[in-house]
A and B are shown apart, each in its own frame.
Chain A
């Protein structure tokens, strides 16, 4: 008898493989608040998915619990809205079982880094090949406004009326420390950057972690305005490009120079520094990635945006498949009667 799953998957795709962003709309009403940053992520995901060369039926979106975790309901792909914090573990099981699928995880800062923290570090460590979109709004929104592990110290929330006492995680540093082979950041208000980052994540062969600053208009409005508004972004963010110097400013008139391991802002117009003095981005350099991640809470430098780190490392799901392929040709493979009999049996005649 043929394996029942293999039989179904062997059925030929009917018609064209092509689909559009519109085909990805599930028809369910999108119930995020008007002005929520999550809309822009949804739009960009729907925009890039048709360009990846993946059949729509081979895409699965798994989410946890929270506002952003409603994401799968709005996508006409295979999807599962699961438990608080557990999306990555469920997605890992799916991807290990079905490595040919394109597996996406929609999660929030609380879902991913608080209740789901253990699954996050281990999925990153194993390098399970999936795309993890962490919608960071710096707050628990679906429960109406408590501080998250990414809320800032001193932040006033419903559960910290006198200010948050603890320091936040540095999400990209945590991802790097856990061994994530791809770490990037983008934000809701820059569609172009988001598209580039999501495409890179989707094409990365391994665990791709994308932190997305997504504004919560109700409980944490303006949390990222300091870097994401049109007025502020030129001076307070720096877009990373592999092999290129770190320049920023409206007229690219500023740059980042390394002073030892310390990044510092220099002017490119005062005659003291040129582009040759600047830090050149290298996505493969782990030490550099750590320095970039460390810029997140450093008020003297802009926030890095784009791909911090990207390296090739064989994903866990691929290793699993390779191991099985290796053993599938060993003597006795699949011999159920030999397995049942074991190596110390006797016969009663």
Chain B
């Protein structure tokens, strides 16, 4: 039967199964292939908190969701158009997010009596008619693969493991994905295991054939290529992007890199990546605790390294005292906080933006520290470099706030050429005639930096208040006021050195959506939808939280009402209200999810109708 062809603007696909089903692999390949085919892609892996949850359970479902589109998209999709379900539990947990008419590719052998019981189904949903709103394809993946691989010297258990590639083949053919990228990747990955390679290649091919020859699939879909800027791309998680950012920042500053870090979800992968960069000369210490993560970095910074630490909420709490020390020492440091749901241990794998006020104010004494935030996974690269730039130029610790969503999700990263990334030019003092440890650059107010090993510049720094210029210990009251003012003025002055806040849409008017950090994608997609629907609303997004961009007050005053959606109970809202005495409408969600596009959309529609605020 001749199949029809249909063009789609985009689609959201979810691969769901047990931890061992290879769903992350299928998802990554689907997204990389779509990227390679010139589509916009955005992904989010959804792992269970358990390391190896019992097979087939509802709480053990591991999923990978991808949105691809012709137009630019910034989220992984609110509703699922295509679900690949490896077992009954993965179908059940995904059902509430399926759009009407969604395609379900179900692995038939994952719906046996035991699977149904674990998923708490009384009857088989593939057969009982309960999925009549959807287009269901029940596929005998495992049986087919056993036939296909009968001639291979492979145990049935290993043959069964190819089911993720079979499923991938089905959706590749159904959505006209080019298998070349995945075939190349499989060859590189399993080149040394020819039997495994063979089995996986057969699975992918058989899956594609299954769609082609099976009349159940009446239509083949296409997603047209986007107008993506030419160049090399890769999908990258925020954590890998941050790790890369640290290495590249050190390279552009012509410095050595040191990372002091303690394992903590969801920041640990930065430590993993950095520890794998040994051939690039990176030093790291997996410290004995969070405090030592930061304090060892302070030691390395004193020694003339670009030093960093990575953590998440509970770790940031433990680092607070040392951040105060770094502030008074005026040594450069990059502190990356991958925010997660709190308080206390909270929900470690879920994102929030609940550390902003701690980053801003969470230290004893007046201890201003610059704060920047990344908007998406790829932006973690840019903002890590930016944090390093500010730290080195102004001799200050800098906090970079990311979150569990952008840290673990991916979007396409346009691979820059190293020479295209601006160089930084930190300098160390060498002249004993002019060196004084707290003498400042008149422009930046950065103090002079001298490193051990420099003859004649021996000096002492520490946590006791410093005398202006000399750096001697001082309890003088006027000096303390002066030094407090200087530390604040130095941080405030960074406002001259960062981009202005851009407003998208009308530059003034009734309503502005103001976001910050990792909610960028949801707000942007919501705003795009609102504009398409003829709504008059503007948006702006903050990446610099301390100091704010120089024009922020002007932007705020150009709008009657300002809506701040954030994943906390009102951190930025409080900062803005306190600083600018402008009343803010909050959209505050702490539901363990990344901000949802439709939540923003609905709130704006409600505001436009009600004139509230």
Q: Decide: A90 and B254 in contact? CB cutoff 8 A.
A: no
Q: Decide: A93 and B289 in contact? CB cutoff 8 A.
A: no
Q: Decide: A82 and B278 in contact? CB cutoff 8 A.
A: no
- For the complex, is A56 an interface residue (Cβ under 8 Å from B)? yes
Interface residue tally on B, bucketed by range: 35 or more
Q: Decide: B256 and A97 in contact? CB cutoff 8 A.
A: yes
- For the complex, is B292 an interface residue (Cβ under 8 Å from A)? yes
CB neighbours (8 Å) of A96 from chain B are: 258, 283, 285, 296, 299-300
- For the complex, is B473 an interface residue (Cβ under 8 Å from A)? yes
Q: Decide: B296 and A92 in contact? CB cutoff 8 A.
A: yes
- For the complex, is A9 an interface residue (Cβ under 8 Å from B)? yes
A77's nearest neighbour on chain B, judged by CB, is B458
CB neighbours (8 Å) of B188 from chain A are: 343
What's the nearest-Cβ distance from chain A to residue B298, in Å?
5
Per-residue CB contact flags for chain B residues 552-576 toward chain A (1 = under 8 Å, else 0) read: 0000000000000000000000000
CB neighbours (8 Å) of A57 from chain B are: 452-458
Within 8 A of B (CB), among A301-349: 320, 323-324, 327-328, 330, 332-334, 336-337, 339-349
- For the complex, is A89 an interface residue (Cβ under 8 Å from B)? yes
CB neighbours (8 Å) of A81 from chain B are: 460-464
Q: Decide: B427 and A4 in contact? CB cutoff 8 A.
A: yes
- For the complex, is A100 an interface residue (Cβ under 8 Å from B)? yes
Q: Given the complex of chains A and B, what is the CA–CA distance between A93 and B247 in angstroms?
A: 18
What's the nearest-Cβ distance from chain A to residue B288, in Å?
4
CB neighbours (8 Å) of A91 from chain B are: 299
- For the complex, is B423 an interface residue (Cβ under 8 Å from A)? yes
Q: Given the complex of chains A and B, what is the CA–CA distance between A89 and B251 in angstroms?
A: 26
Q: Decide: B230 and A349 in contact? CB cutoff 8 A.
A: yes
Q: Decide: B453 and A93 in contact? CB cutoff 8 A.
A: no
What's the nearest-Cβ distance from chain B to residue A296, in Å?
26
A75's nearest neighbour on chain B, judged by CB, is B460
CB neighbours (8 Å) of A342 from chain B are: 234, 236, 415
Q: Given the complex of chains A and B, what is the CA–CA distance between A28 and B460 in angstroms?
A: 11
What's the nearest-Cβ distance from chain A to residue B236, in Å?
7
Q: Decide: B463 and A122 in contact? CB cutoff 8 A.
A: no
What's the nearest-Cβ distance from chain A to residue B74, in Å?
18
B188's nearest neighbour on chain A, judged by CB, is A343
Q: Given the complex of chains A and B, what is the CA–CA distance between A78 and B437 in angstroms?
A: 11
Interface residue tally on A, bucketed by range: 35 or more
A74's nearest neighbour on chain B, judged by CB, is B460
Among B185, B302, B305, contact of A80 (Cβ-Cβ < 8 Å)? B302
Q: Decide: B283 and A83 in contact? CB cutoff 8 A.
A: no
Q: Given the complex of chains A and B, what is the CA–CA distance between A27 and B176 in angstroms?
A: 78
- For the complex, is B550 an interface residue (Cβ under 8 Å from A)? no
**In the complex where A81-B464, A122-B292 touch, is A340 in contact with B415 (Cβ < 8 A)?**
yes
- For the complex, is A145 an interface residue (Cβ under 8 Å from B)? no
What's the nearest-Cβ distance from chain B to residue A302, in Å?
35
- For the complex, is A204 an interface residue (Cβ under 8 Å from B)? no
Q: Decide: A83 and B322 in contact? CB cutoff 8 A.
A: yes
What's the nearest-Cβ distance from chain B to residue A320, in Å?
6
Q: Given the complex of chains A and B, what is the CA–CA distance between A94 and B303 in angstroms?
A: 6
Q: Given the complex of chains A and B, what is the CA–CA distance between A55 and B452 in angstroms?
A: 11
- For the complex, is A119 an interface residue (Cβ under 8 Å from B)? yes
Q: Decide: B35 and A346 in contact? CB cutoff 8 A.
A: yes
Among B233, B325, B329, B452, contact of A94 (Cβ-Cβ < 8 Å)? B452
- For the complex, is A182 an interface residue (Cβ under 8 Å from B)? no
Q: Given the complex of chains A and B, what is the CA–CA distance between A11 and B451 in angstroms?
A: 13
Q: Given the complex of chains A and B, what is the CA–CA distance between A11 and B303 in angstroms?
A: 16
Q: Decide: A80 and B462 in contact? CB cutoff 8 A.
A: yes
Q: Decide: A93 and B304 in contact? CB cutoff 8 A.
A: no
Q: Given the complex of chains A and B, what is the CA–CA distance between A83 and B254 in angstroms?
A: 30
Q: Decide: A324 and B281 in contact? CB cutoff 8 A.
A: yes
Q: Decide: B234 and A8 in contact? CB cutoff 8 A.
A: no
A102's nearest neighbour on chain B, judged by CB, is B452
Q: Given the complex of chains A and B, what is the CA–CA distance between A89 and B447 in angstroms?
A: 24
- For the complex, is A3 an interface residue (Cβ under 8 Å from B)? yes
Q: Decide: A344 and B185 in contact? CB cutoff 8 A.
A: yes
- For the complex, is B266 an interface residue (Cβ under 8 Å from A)? no
A8's nearest neighbour on chain B, judged by CB, is B428
* B contacts with A: majority SS: mixed
Among A9, A97, A347, contact of B300 (Cβ-Cβ < 8 Å)? A97
- For the complex, is B85 an interface residue (Cβ under 8 Å from A)? no
Q: Decide: A72 and B462 in contact? CB cutoff 8 A.
A: yes
- For the complex, is A287 an interface residue (Cβ under 8 Å from B)? no
Within 8 A of A (CB), among B453-508: 453-464, 472-473
Q: Decide: A122 and B288 in contact? CB cutoff 8 A.
A: yes
CB neighbours (8 Å) of B458 from chain A are: 56-57, 76-79
Q: Decide: B299 and A344 in contact? CB cutoff 8 A.
A: no
Per-residue CB contact flags for chain B residues 255-292 toward chain A (1 = under 8 Å, else 0) read: 11010100000000000000001111101010111011
Q: Given the complex of chains A and B, what is the CA–CA distance between A89 and B458 in angstroms?
A: 21
Q: Given the complex of chains A and B, what is the CA–CA distance between A13 and B280 in angstroms?
A: 29
Within 8 A of A (CB), among B329-359: 329
Q: Given the complex of chains A and B, what is the CA–CA distance between A28 and B285 in angstroms?
A: 34
Within 8 A of A (CB), among B8-62: 28, 32, 35-36, 38
What's the nearest-Cβ distance from chain A to residue B302, in Å?
6
Q: Given the complex of chains A and B, what is the CA–CA distance between A9 and B430 in angstroms?
A: 10
Among A2, A60, A332, A334, contact of B452 (Cβ-Cβ < 8 Å)? A60
Q: Decide: A98 and B233 in contact? CB cutoff 8 A.
A: no
CB neighbours (8 Å) of A336 from chain B are: 247-248, 251, 280, 418
Q: Decide: A328 and B260 in contact? CB cutoff 8 A.
A: no
What's the nearest-Cβ distance from chain A to residue B80, in Å?
24
- For the complex, is B198 an interface residue (Cβ under 8 Å from A)? no
Q: Decide: A101 and B305 in contact? CB cutoff 8 A.
A: no
Which of B247, B260, B295, B428 has most A Cβ within 10 Å? B295
- For the complex, is B244 an interface residue (Cβ under 8 Å from A)? yes
CB neighbours (8 Å) of A343 from chain B are: 188
Q: Given the complex of chains A and B, what is the CA–CA distance between A168 and B325 in angstroms?
A: 30
Among B233, B255, B285, contact of A3 (Cβ-Cβ < 8 Å)? B255
**In the complex where A94-B302, A339-B247, A348-B38 touch, is A8 in contact with B233 (Cβ < 8 A)?**
no
What's the nearest-Cβ distance from chain B to residue A82, in Å?
6
Within 8 A of A (CB), among B207-260: 228-236, 244, 247-248, 251, 253-256, 258, 260
Q: Could you list 6 further interchain pairs (A-B, Cβ under 8 angstroms) beyond the known A86-B325, A97-B303, A97-B304?
A: A4-B254, A78-B458, A82-B462, A96-B283, A327-B278, A344-B234
**Taking beta carbons and an 8 Å cutoff, which residues of A are in contact with B?**
1-5, 8-9, 11, 13-14, 26, 28, 55-60, 62, 65, 72-73, 75-83, 86, 89-98, 100-101, 118-119, 121-122, 320, 323-324, 327-328, 330, 332-334, 336-337, 339-349
Q: List 22 A-B contacts (CB under 8 A).
A: A4-B427, A9-B454, A11-B455, A56-B455, A81-B460, A89-B291, A89-B296, A90-B298, A93-B307, A94-B299, A97-B305, A98-B303, A101-B453, A118-B289, A332-B279, A333-B281, A339-B280, A342-B236, A344-B185, A344-B234, A346-B233, A348-B228
